[in-house]
């Protein structure tokens, strides 16, 4: 698979999962010509004849973003959904000013330290619409030499009158609920578009976060409790995943609390190890054996294609790290030889449940959510409310939603026919940090060893 594909060949090869990585400059062609896509390909006429689009994200380089659209689409209405406030909001408006077709929507961030992390494209065409949920900012650096995840929806046709328009995974309902949570007039139009398209072919579940103190019926709509709910309703049976570790892979780390049992191996791991119907938490030895985390080591960053500057997008601060040394015992290196991306620093965030022999996974989530309470939520008031600070969105893949009755995806090459193969971004054989490895911290200097460009790192 070394010849460049047009987008229909690309989508056909990626179907039915449609989980791709972004193209990386500087790696062999074969790793960019299979299950890999660039933003200009997502926006190409081959995907659909664009009428209007909405771009949800955290960072925007507006002139660069406009350039990613084909010429004939650069004057189509574009709604930018962001979380900027005060001076940076003014700067964004100034950057958008030269483009009469661009409107801005400021997502409310009423809880301190919350951010608008969600990365999503809503693409309205003359013959339908597509939803793209991904992990890359709208800046050149995020689409150049990093590992990023992209889910591209099927083409959702305009719905006929009175037809069923949602999927068994309630994709349309959950997307409408997520968009409604912004309480923004400029999103009303897009909620209308979502409602009037037939999304019955969507096979993923949406796992989103919106800022708030969610209680009562709303407590399971967002964050890790939404994931817990979906896994309780349609997750693996306990018997099938006994002893299967939960894997978390992310590019930033928040303050997780003074010990592992409060949040990380408590409420958070309880949600991610939820099984169908029955009990919740993993049996057997302490949580430690059942959780494995992938986060770039200092050397993973140093030897990456970008060198130390890759760490500018991996904001783990020493202040936070010092408060949670227990966290570092869960860490594994970023290694992605299977996808030719061991040196493409990860900005993707993925979570799954993997068999001890690394051959299968029971589910897979790609999301904007890093390893933080702000993103996933933290229970308060004796478990009566889930406090979330940020907007996040991701998609969950469950085997039975793709191949009925199937309970797992195969992830290693040696796959038997009837199981769907899931293309993991990272190598399924995880490699723990060596005793000399340290997690990447972005706010301390590294002058001992030069990076792949021969430079040192002195924090900006
Ligand atoms: O993609 C995102 O959503 C995101 C969010 N935050 C970032 C930060 S910081 O705001 O945490 O300082 C610093 C560097 C990169 C970041 C980033 O890529």
DSSP state of 53: E
Average pLDDT value for the chain: 96
- pLDDT (0 to 100) of residue 285: 45
Kindly name the residue from 117, 134, 214, 360 that is annotated as catalytic. 117
- pLDDT (0 to 100) of residue 281: 54
Nearest C-alpha neighbor of 99 from the set 60, 71, 62: 62
Q: 138 forms bridges with which residues in the sheet?
A: 60
Output the CA torsion 91→95→97→99 (10° steps).
-160
32 lines ligand 1 (CB under 6 A): no
State yes or no: pLDDT of 433 exceeds 70.
Answer: yes
327 lines ligand 1 (CB under 6 A): no
Mean pLDDT across the stretch 194-220?
98
315 lines ligand 1 (CB under 6 A): yes
Q: In this predicted model, which residue has the larger pLDDT, 354 or 417?
A: 354
- pLDDT (0 to 100) of residue 159: 96
Model ipTM value: 0.97
What would the pLDDT profile of 115-164 be if each residue is shown by its tens digit?
A: 999 999 999 999 999 999 999 999 999 999 999 999 999 999 999 888 88
pLDDT tier, 176 (very low <50, low <70, confident <90, very high otherwise): very high
Candidate of 61, 85, 114, 137 to mutate for ligand 1, largest count of ligand atoms within 8 Å of Cβ: 137
What would the pLDDT profile of 289-340 be if each residue is shown by its tens digit?
A: 599 999 999 999 999 999 999 999 999 999 999 999 999 999 999 999 999 9
90-96 long-range CB contacts below 8 Å, 24 or more apart? 92/60, 92/62, 95/60, 95/62, 95/63, 96/62
As a whole number of Å, the end-to-end CA separation of the chain is: 41
Helix (H) or strand (E) holding 387: strand 385-388
Sign of the CA dihedral 429, 368, 226, 176?
Answer: negative
State yes or no: pLDDT of 288 exceeds 80.
Answer: no
What would the pLDDT profile of 72-91 be if each residue is shown by its tens digit?
A: 999 999 999 999 999 999 99
DSSP state of 204: S
Q: Whose CA is nearest to atom 14 of ligand 1?
A: 313
Q: Are strands 291-294 and 205-209 parallel, antiparallel or unpaired?
A: unpaired
363 lines ligand 1 (CB under 6 A): no
Q: Whose CA is nearest to atom 17 of ligand 1?
A: 313
Nearest C-alpha neighbor of 351 from the set 247, 223, 238, 221: 247
Q: Are strands 78-82 and 102-106 parallel, antiparallel or unpaired?
A: parallel
- Max CA distance (Å), the chain: 67
53 φ, ψ (degrees, to nearest 5)? -145, 160
State yes or no: pLDDT of 392 exceeds 90.
Answer: yes
Percentage with pLDDT > 70 across the chain: 96
pLDDT tier, 282 (very low <50, low <70, confident <90, very high otherwise): low
- pLDDT (0 to 100) of residue 163: 85
State yes or no: pLDDT of 415 exceeds 90.
Answer: no
State yes or no: pLDDT of 286 exceeds 70.
Answer: no
Percentage with pLDDT > 90 across the chain: 93
Q: Whose CA is nearest to atom 9 of ligand 1?
A: 315
Active-site annotation holds for 117: yes
């Amino acid at each position: 698979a070394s010849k460049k594909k047009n987008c229909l060949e690309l989508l056909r090869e990626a179907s039915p999962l449609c989980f791709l990585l972004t193209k990386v400059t500087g790696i062999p062609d074969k790793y960019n010509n299979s299950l890999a896509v660039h933003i200009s390909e997502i926006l190409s006429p081959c995907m659909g004849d664009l009428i209007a689009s909405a771009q949800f994200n955290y960072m925007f380089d507006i002139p660069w973003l406009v350039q990613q659209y084909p010429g004939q689409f650069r004057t189509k209405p574009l709604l930018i959904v962001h979380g900027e406030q005060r001076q940076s909001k003014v700067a964004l408006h100034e950057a958008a000013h030269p483009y009469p077709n661009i409107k801005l929507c400021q997502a409310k961030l009423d809880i301190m330290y919350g951010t608008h992390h969600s990365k999503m494209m809503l693409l309205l065409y003359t013959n339908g619409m597509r939803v793209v949920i991904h992990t890359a900012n709208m800046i050149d650096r995020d689409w150049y030499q990093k590992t990023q995840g992209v889910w591209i929806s099927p083409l959702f046709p305009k719905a006929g009158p009175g037809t069923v328009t949602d999927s068994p995974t309630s994709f349309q309902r959950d997307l409408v609920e997520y968009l409604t949570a912004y309480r923004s007039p400029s999103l009303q139009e897009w909620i209308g578009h979502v409602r009037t398209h037939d999304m019955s072919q969507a096979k993923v579940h949406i796992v989103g976060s919106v800022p708030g103190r969610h209680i009562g019926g709303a407590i399971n709509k967002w964050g890790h409790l939404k994931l817990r709910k979906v896994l309780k309703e349609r997750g693996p049976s306990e018997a099938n995943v006994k002893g299967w570790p939960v894997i978390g892979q992310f590019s930033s780390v928040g303050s997780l609390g003074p010990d592992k049992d409060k949040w990380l191996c408590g409420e958070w791991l309880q949600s991610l190890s939820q099984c169908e119907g029955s009990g919740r938490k993993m049996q057997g030895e302490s949580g430690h054996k059942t959780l494995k985390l992938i986060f770039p080591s200092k050397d993973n960053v140093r030897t990456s294609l970008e060198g130390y500057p890759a760490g500018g997008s991996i904001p783990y601060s020493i202040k936070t790290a010092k408060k949670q040394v227990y966290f570092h015992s869960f860490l594994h290196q970023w290694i992605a030889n299977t996808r030719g991306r061991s040196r493409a620093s990860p900005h993707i965030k993925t979570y799954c449940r993997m068999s001890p022999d690394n051959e299968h996974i029971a589910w897979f989530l790609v999301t904007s959510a890093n390893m933080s309470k702000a993103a996933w939520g933290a229970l308060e008031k004796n478990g009566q409310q889930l406090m979330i600070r940020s907007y996040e969105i991701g998609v969950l893949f469950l085997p039975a939603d793709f191949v009925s009755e199937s309970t797992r995806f195969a992830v290693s090459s040696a796959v038997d026919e009837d199981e769907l193969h899931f293309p993991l971004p990272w190598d399924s054989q995880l490699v723990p940090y060596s005793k000399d490895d340290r997690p990447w911290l972005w706010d301390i200097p590294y002058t001992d060893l030069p990076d792949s460009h021969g430079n040192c790192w002195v924090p900006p």
